Amino acid sequence: MKELLQEFEQKQPEIVFEWKDTETDAEGWVVINSLRGGAAGGGTRMRSGLDRNEVESLAKTMEVKFTVSGPSIGGAKSGINFDPADPRKHGVLQRWFKVVTPLLKNYYGTGGDLNVDEIYDVIPLTEQFGLWHPQEGVLNGHFDIRENGRIHQIGQLRYGVSKVLEDSHYSPDLKRKFKVADMITGYGVAESVKHFYNLFGGRISEKRAIIQGWGNVAASAAFYLSKMGVQIVGIIDRVGGLLNPDGFTEDEIRDLFLGRKGNSLFSDSMLSFEEINSRIWEMGAEIFIPAAASRLVSKEQIQLMVENGLEVIASGANVPFADREIFYGPVMEYADQHVAVIPDFVANCGMARVFAYLMQPNIEISDDSLFQDVSEVILKALKNIHEYMPETKTHISSRAYELALRQLL
């Protein structure tokens, strides 16, 4: 597996597009790892300090993710080095999408990512520059669909991704009009944990969980886990956190979800980041959901959780471990050797899978069809891993990478 990973990591990306903004100090990159199948896909993110290496590593992660979610295309990623809290953010994104539109028209499909919203940023800005949908390049480059069919499938994409949830099983509040794109990735993360226990043994309703982050992925994963009976005992966010040894109730988790300030946790009972960070890792929980920024989780934090009963990690964030390596560094390897680590390209493939599902002709588009399709795809991936080595709950990530890379190399 490590030899396959090294070969994949060292292969140079097929296309790198670099951009410098004329009005701010923003800079950005599109990295297309390959045009496998004639196209590539991957979201657009923005954060201060982002560099080309981060974008390249995420593009390679996307290529692996497509082996699970489909379609059979190459991996790509867009990244902008700029403060998303800066009031000039909209102008930066506007200029960015103007210059990358030719790629998006012909062979690259994008979506939302860290600090860039699918519904409110990506779709309206790409429409402004003549795209019918930000996934149009995949339909053109990979599916090579004639115009009438392309119009039909773009219509499915436009409707499905922005669809307002109508089923209370999937939405924390029907009055707030949450959309598929708001909830689907966190749903997949929660489903990956459920499927893990069904396949490898254990009752999920008897488990406790620690959540890292409180953006869409983290908060929605917590929401769905709490509906399964999981006791959320700790939440750590960048502004602070909460602890409850008895577990927050389903209603309390829903209220914390709905009470977010932007994408941040908010509560009158919030502990400071310093206090929560000093206590949460020894809290005791079987489930850990790292769903904040990339490369945050340290070996020391994993060790403390393992000593206090950790059984499974489901990666809501891409590359959550504090490794320099693109995929499988020493922190992830340590975790993989001691607990079940469901890798990011399986656990958080929900949005990628929605795009793939909606690119099929004449499919049903309902809350249940979209969410259950994601669940079934994740279950299939975990079944393949389980069948490959059914006798152990560890080394899940190394098995998953080996199965994926054999399709790519």
pLDDT at 147: 67
- Chain-centre distance of CA 298, in angstroms? 19
Q: Please answer whether residues 244 and 233 qualify as being in contact, where contact means their C-beta atoms are separated by less than 8 angstroms.
A: yes
Report the distance separating Cα 324 and Cα 56, nearest Å.
13
pTM: 0.91
Tally of residues, the chain? 409
Work out the angle between the directed axes of helices 52-69 and 367-388 (0-180°, nearest 10).
Answer: 90
pLDDT at 300: 98
pLDDT at 361: 86
pLDDT at 252: 98
Q: Largest Cα–Cα distance in the chain? A: 58
Q: What would the two tokens of residue 156 be?
A: 């499915």
Is residue 357 exposed (0-12), middle (13-18) or buried (19+ Cβ within 10 Å)?
Answer: buried
What residues pair up with 204 in beta bridges, in sequence order? none
Report the distance separating Cα 137 and Cα 134, nearest Å.
7
Residues with pLDDT less than 70, the chain: 146-147
